[in-house]
Amino acid sequence: REEGLRCVLIVPVAVGSEIVAALHVGSGRVDVVPGDMRTALESLSVRLGGVLVHFQAQERLRESEALFRRVAEGAFDAIGLVGEDGRFRFVNENMCQAFGYRAVDLEGALFTALLSEEDVIRRMEAFRSRLEGKPVPERFEMNLRRKDGEIFPSEVSVKPVRWRGEKAAVCAIQDLSVRKRLEAEVLRIDDLERERIGQDLHDSV
């Protein structure tokens, strides 16, 4: 009344079963809000609820993406997110260092750029199968290729996820070069030790 209003209409804005806002409309000219206006405002409140749901979903999505990036950057493995089209959506710094690329070079590029030529077709088929939910090993060893052409052994772990509404896969890669060299060295030392023991036995006899 102090503002000169003759009637006020308050329309709740709901998201599901929860009221999250209220639409306030006042008039200084009429005593009753017309029925058609009430209907229009109620329809508008429903639409506003839908908009708020969309904004909330977008905010949750941004938060989850930010969390994923923080976790990926803090990981020891080389990590890349591959979209349904086979192109990288995100790579962490370890991925760039492992393969000798910059992030701007890898993001948007096909993951097949990191494969040896003989593996491209087979791995692309396996990738499609994994996105479709078919039973495919989630962890396997394969040879990958660095930017300079060097081929190196690696262990790859792939997990299907949803990224911005599309099917995607998170790939974690471990360089096995050092481990393979150590394994080979252990086998070599073992062979030398057997030879030494055999020679000692021979000499003793």
The span from the CA of 5 to the CA of 28, in Å, is: 4
Give per-residue burial for 4-20: e unless 16+ CB within 10 Å, then b.
Answer: eeeeeeebebeeeeeee
Q: Per residue in 17-74, pLDDT tens? A: 888 888 888 888 888 888 888 888 888 888 888 888 777 777 777 777 777 777 777 7
Mean pLDDT of all residues belonging to the chain: 82
Q: Determine the average pLDDT of the residues in 112-137.
A: 75
Give the pLDDT confidence score for residue 102 in this predicted structure.
Answer: 92
Give the pLDDT confidence score for residue 180 in this predicted structure.
Answer: 65
Residue 179 pLDDT greater than 90, yes or no: no
pTM: 0.57
Q: Determine the average pLDDT of the residues in 161-185.
A: 79
DSSP annotation string for 173-193: EEE-HHHHHHHHHHHHHHHHH
Give the pLDDT confidence score for residue 101 in this predicted structure.
Answer: 93
Kindly tell me the burial class for residue 36, based on how many C-beta atoms sit within 10 Å of its own C-beta (0-12, 13-18, 19 or more): exposed
pLDDT tier at 104, thresholds 50, 70, 90: very high
Residue 79 pLDDT greater than 80, yes or no: yes
Give the pLDDT confidence score for residue 168 in this predicted structure.
Answer: 86
pLDDT tier at 107, thresholds 50, 70, 90: very high
Side chain identity, residue 85: D
Share above pLDDT 90 across residues of the chain, in percent, rounded to a whole number:
13
